[in-house]
């Protein structure tokens, strides 16, 4: 496996298995001088921690983070920031029967083919616990963005077919329900739906939306490292994500140009206002792969949890047909816990592109080095 790193300047490398000694991340390229302590990161990790509601696995993990390097007297030093979370509740006996069976919807089969064998304990590297490193790094990225007036916010737009349209968004309610939906009433209906699935030992998915505000215009590197392209990689790389869209996304495919184009107008604050804004935001904040000054809006489609206790057909590692029932402690829906993961991946991507954009023009270079 290569591919455990993401980013060009702000570069994140994650490691760790579900049932090994721990999970962690190394962040290389974080600018020096950012205030950072363990509590800053812990807040983000707590948002994805298991055992917080009846809809999440009962595995109990405190997921306490330790900063191993890169911070001195409360500030980042510019050197790599190494973060460690020890695994605690490693009841690997739960996973015994899985050693010889390929779980449908899981990475077991390709993992075994690719590497010759696999760490079968709890999914190993393919476990949802892998996202701990992403979230820890996302916390650092979010702090850095905040310093520049940029905020990133993710929430659950849909659970199964219980979807909230923007007209019904009540952003203040996001943290009032355990599904992180911007509408408590819909969240309640969705919760009942999840409960009914749980009683049938089934599972569901949903849609996560993420909005970033305050971006400078021009982030994103055409051609292959467009803002939307790297966001797509970042978000699609989260396990269980099956689709990513920006702005109107798939709906744009059936629109027409005269509607889909966002008109520009100058800012309305008097004659001296020379700011430029868009009258609509079908593009979701990107044009030509760069931020366009409007809110960045993306959505990720999350598939239903693969681990279900229902009997399913499969094969064993010898290629023989078999039945499988996946017991263990699994979320009936991973959407609520994935919210902070999508938010983190968005923050990491934006941070990296923000730093990469610094050398886009000679004026920037001069600004940094003048007076030195």
Residues 95-134 within binding reach of its own copies (CB under 8 A)? 102, 104-111, 113-119, 121, 124-126, 130
**What span, in angstroms and rounded, lies between the C-alpha atoms of 27 and 45?**
16
Find the binding residues for its own copies in span 269-298 (CB under 8 A): 274-276, 279, 283-284, 287-293
Find the binding residues for its own copies in span 296-355 (CB under 8 A): 301-308, 310, 312-315, 318-321, 354-355
Cβ distance to its own copies smaller for residue 115 or 172: 115
359 binds its own copies (CB under 8 A): yes
Beta carbons within 10 angstroms of residue 266's beta carbon:
11
The DSSP element (H or E) to which 72 belongs, if any, is: strand 71-72
Using CB under 8 A, which of 37, 54, 60, 68 touches its own copies?
68
172 binds its own copies (CB under 8 A): no
**What span, in angstroms and rounded, lies between the C-alpha atoms of 194 and 214?**
35
Q: Which residues pair with 28 in a beta bridge?
A: 11
Is 86 assigned a ligand-binding role in the annotation?
A: no
Beta carbons within 10 angstroms of residue 114's beta carbon:
10
Using CB under 8 A, which of 62, 89, 243, 329 touches its own copies?
243
**What span, in angstroms and rounded, lies between the C-alpha atoms of 327 and 98?**
9
Using CB under 8 A, which of 40, 52, 53, 78 touches its own copies?
78
Is 126 assigned a ligand-binding role in the annotation?
A: yes
Is 305 assigned a ligand-binding role in the annotation?
A: yes
- Residue 114: phi and psi, rounded to 5, are -70, -45
Using CB under 8 A, which of 74, 224, 269, 270 touches its own copies?
224
Using CB under 8 A, which of 39, 166, 172, 254 touches its own copies?
254
- Sign of the CA dihedral running 345, 348, 349, 350: positive
For strands 206-213 and 264-266, give the pairing. unpaired
CB of 46 to its own copies, least distance (A): 22
Find the binding residues for its own copies in span 48-67 (CB under 8 A): 66-67
Nearest to 101 by CA among 327, 302, 303: 327
Residue list for the binding site for FMN: 125-127, 288, 303-307, 329
């Amino acid at each position: 496996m290569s591919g455990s790193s993401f980013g060009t300047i702000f570069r994140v490398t994650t490691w760790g298995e579900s049932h090994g000694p721990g999970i962690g991340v190394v962040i290389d390229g974080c600018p020096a001088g950012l205030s950072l302590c363990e509590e800053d990161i812990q807040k983000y990790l707590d948002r994805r921690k298991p055992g917080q509601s009846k809809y999440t696995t009962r595995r109990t993990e405190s997921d306490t983070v330790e900063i191993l390097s890169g911070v001195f007297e409360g500030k980042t030093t510019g050197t790599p920031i190494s973060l460690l979370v020890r695994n605690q509740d490693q009841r690997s006996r739960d996973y015994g029967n899985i050693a010889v069976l390929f779980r449908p919807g899981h990475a077991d089969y390709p993992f075994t083919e690719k590497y010759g064998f696999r760490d079968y304990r709890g999914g190993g590297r393919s476990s949802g616990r892998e996202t701990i490193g992403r979230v820890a790094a996302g916390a650092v990225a979010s702090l850095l963005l905040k310093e520049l007036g940029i905020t990133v916010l993710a929430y659950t737009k849909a659970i199964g077919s219980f979807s909230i349209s923007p007209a019904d968004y009540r952003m203040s309610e996001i943290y009032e329900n355990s599904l992180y939906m911007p509408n408590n009433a819909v969240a309640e209906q969705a919760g009942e739906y999840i409960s009914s699935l749980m009683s049938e030992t089934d599972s569901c998915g949903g849609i996560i939306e993420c909005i970033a505000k305050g971006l400078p215009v021009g982030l994103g590197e055409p051609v292959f490292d467009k803002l939307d392209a790297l966001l797509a990689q970042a978000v699609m790389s989260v396990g269980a994500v099956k689709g990513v869209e920006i702005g109107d996304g798939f709906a744009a495919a059936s629109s027409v140009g005269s509607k889909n184009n966002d008109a520009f107008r100058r800012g309305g604050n008097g004659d001296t206002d020379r700011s430029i804004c868009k009258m609509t935001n079908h593009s979701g904040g990107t044009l030509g792969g760069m931020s366009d000054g409007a809110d960045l809006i993306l959505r990720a489609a999350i598939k239903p949890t693969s681990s279900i206790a229902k009997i399913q057909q499969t094969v064993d590692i010898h290629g023989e047909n078999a039945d499988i029932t996946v017991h263990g402690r699994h979320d009936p829906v991973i959407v609520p816990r994935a919210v902070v993961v999508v938010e983190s991946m968005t923050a990491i991507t934006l941070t990296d592109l923000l730093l990469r954009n610094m050398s886009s023009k000679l004026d920037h270079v001069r600004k940094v080095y003048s007076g030195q």
